[in-house]
Amino acid sequence: MSIAAEQLPAPRRFDLSARAVAAARHHLLTLFAILALVYLLLPIAVVVAFSFNDPVGRFNFTWGSFTLDNWANPFGFPDLRGAVVLSLEIAALSSIAATILGTLIALALVRYHFRGRGATNLLIFLPMASPEIVMGSSLLTLFLNYSIPLGFATILIAHIMFNISYVVVTVRARLAGHDRHLEEAAMDLFATPWATFYRVTLPLIAPGVLAAGLLAFALSVDDFVITYLVSGSDQTFPLFVWGAARVAVPPQINVIGTMVFAAALVLMFLNIAFQWRRSPKGAA
């Protein structure tokens, strides 16, 4: 029946005006989206640009001239190094702790049926739905009431607290995508509960846990409000920026900001590439 023949590009008619309108609409949306992206990225461009600024005078917000000095000497500003180091310490510790605690909760939520799910979900959700200023101030009142000295420990406590929820949500999303029967299959194949956990569960959730850990790390590095309230005399990087903002923001801050941004981008890219590699069809 099907006659093997050359494809004759049969004449096609279409409504020209309708097409023009459709095309315009199509591109209108694209244009808008691109403008929105510009809006999102403009400040970042400014941050990056001014990391190369050689400011006239003390203030890094009018363009002086191009220089690499700031990059050559990113910590060339008193106390900046200490603040960055403290931020990284807090972020590392809090993200590790929150990742462990949050992953356990996510495991329970996804893999088990138990009474009190609703309450648990609520408790997970509330910190995400609370203004930071309230969380920070309530923690501060707690610490004040018990005369707990403010500093490293209190910052760490707060960061773990607000990171847990994000970890739970991230890991849960990852876990929910997996077959509930995988662990049963492992047990069926003579794996003890412990073997089941580290041979099956852990490898499966590892990407999600990693993602959650990175998210927690990022949130921790970025947090200002809560830290500001519970930090006492210790100074994290955002607090340093806050202090500097009231006086003169040195270009080194832009350098650090750019570095953090670049590092995060690289990690995200790796993550996307990793996902692509795992699912050859490219469906991430």
Partner 1 sequence: MNFFHRHRALVPYLLLLPGLAWLALFFVVPMYYLGYTSLQAGDLFSGYTFAWAWDNYSDAFTLYRGHFIRSLEYAGVATLAAFLISYPLAYWIAFRGGRWKNFLLLLVIAPFFVTYLIRTLAWKTILADQGFVVDALRTLHLVGEDGRLLATTTAVVAGITYNFLPFMALPLYVSLEQIDKRLIEAAQDLYASRVKAFLRVTFPLSLPGVFAGTLLTFIPAAGDFINAELLGTPRQLMIGNVIQSQFKEVANYPQAAALSFVLMAGIVIAVLLYARAVGSERVTAGTAA
Partner 2 sequence: GGDGIEGQETTTGEAAGTTTVSQELADQLVIANWTFYIDINEKTKKRPTLEQFKRDTGVSVRYIEEVNDNEEWFGKYQAQLKAGDDIGRDIVVLSDWMVARMIKLGYLQKKDKSAIPNEENLQDALKSPGWDPNRDYSLPWQSGLTGIAYNKKTIGKVTTMDQLLTDPKLKGKVTFLTEMPDTMGLLIAAQGGDPENVTDEAFDSAISALQDAVDSGQIRRFTGNDYVEDLASGNVWAAMAWSGDVAAGIDNPNIEFTVVDTGSHIWTDNMLIPNGGDVFTASTFMNYVYDPVKAAQIAAYIYYVTPVKGAEDQIAQFDETAVGNPLIFPTEEMLSKTFIFDADAADKAEYKEKFQAVIGA
Partner 3 sequence: MAVEERSETGRVTRGREVADIRLERVTKRFDDVVAVDDVSLAIERGSFFALLGPSGCGKTTTLRMIGGFEEPTGGAIFLGDADVTGLPPYKRDVNTVFQSYALFPHLSIFENVAFGLRRRGQRGDPLKRRVEEMLELVALPGLGKRKPGQLSGGQQQRVALARALVNSPQVLLLDEPLGALDLKLRKQMQLELKRIQNDVGITFVHVTHDQEEAMTMADQIAVMNAGRIEQLGSPDELYERPRTAFVASFLGASNLLRGRAAGEGVVRLEDGTEVRVPAAALAGRTGPVAVGIRPEKIRLAAGESNMLEGVIAERSYIGVSTQYIAQTGTGSITVYAQNTDHGPSGLAAGDRVTLSWSPESTFVVDALEEERR
Residues 152-191 that bind partner 3 (CB under 8 A): 178-179, 181-182, 184-191
**The entry of partner 3, partner 2, partner 1, none that residue 78 binds, CB within 5 to 8 Å by partner kind:** partner 2
**The entry of partner 2, partner 1, partner 3, none that residue 150 binds, CB within 5 to 8 Å by partner kind:** partner 2
Burial of residue 1 (CB within 10 Å: 0-12, 13-18, 19+) is exposed
* Binders in 5-64 for partner 3, by CB under 8 A: 5, 7-10, 12-15, 18
| Nearer residue to partner 3 within complex by CB, 200 or 218 | 200
> Tokens 């890991």 identify what position?
171
* Binders in 200-239 for partner 2, by CB under 8 A: 232-233, 235
CB distance 62 to 56 below 8 Å: yes
What the block records as the tokens of 112 is 């088990």
Provide the minimum distance between the beta carbon of 59 and partner 1 in the complex, in angstroms, as a whole number.
Answer: 10
Determine the Cα angle at 237 with ends 36 and 46, to 5°. Answer: 30
Residue 116, by phi and psi: left (phi above 0), alpha (psi -120 to 50) or beta?
A: left
**The entry of partner 3, partner 2, partner 1, none that residue 5 binds, CB within 5 to 8 Å by partner kind:** partner 3
The conformation of residue 114, written as its DSSP 8-state character, comes to -
Contacts of 152 (CB under 8 A, 6+ apart): 86, 89, 90, 234
Q: What is the DSSP string of 68-96?
A: SHHHHSTT-STTHHHHHHHHHHHHHHHHH
> Tokens 């490293």 identify what position?
152
* Piece in contact with partner 2 (CB under 8 A), picked from 22-30, 76-84, 118-126, 216-224: 76-84
Determine the Cα angle at 69 with ends 67 and 71, to 5°. Answer: 105
Provide the minimum distance between the beta carbon of 7 and partner 1 in the complex, in angstroms, as a whole number.
Answer: 26
Q: Is 64 in the site for partner 2 (CB under 8 A)?
A: no
With CB under 8 A as the contact rule, the residue among 13, 58, 278, 281 that binds partner 2 is: 58
Contacts of 179 (CB under 8 A, 6+ apart): none
Q: Is 108 in the site for partner 1 (CB under 8 A)?
A: yes
| Nearer residue to partner 2 within complex by CB, 10 or 247 | 247
| 213-to-91, 169, 227, 232, 270 alpha-carbon distances in Å | 10, 12, 19, 26, 15
Provide the minimum distance between the beta carbon of 182 and partner 3 in the complex, in angstroms, as a whole number.
Answer: 5
With CB under 8 A as the contact rule, the residue among 23, 24, 36, 202 that binds partner 1 is: 36
Q: Is 277 in the site for partner 3 (CB under 8 A)?
A: no
Q: Is 129 in the site for partner 3 (CB under 8 A)?
A: no
What the block records as the tokens of 12 is 């096609």
Q: Is 1 in the site for partner 3 (CB under 8 A)?
A: yes
Which residues of the shown chain bind partner 2 in the complex (CB under 8 A)? 56-59, 61-62, 75-79, 81-82, 140, 143-144, 147, 149-150, 232-233, 235, 243, 245-248
Which residues of the shown chain bind partner 3 in the complex (CB under 8 A)? 1-5, 7-10, 12-15, 18, 178-179, 181-182, 184-193, 195, 199-200, 203-204, 278-280
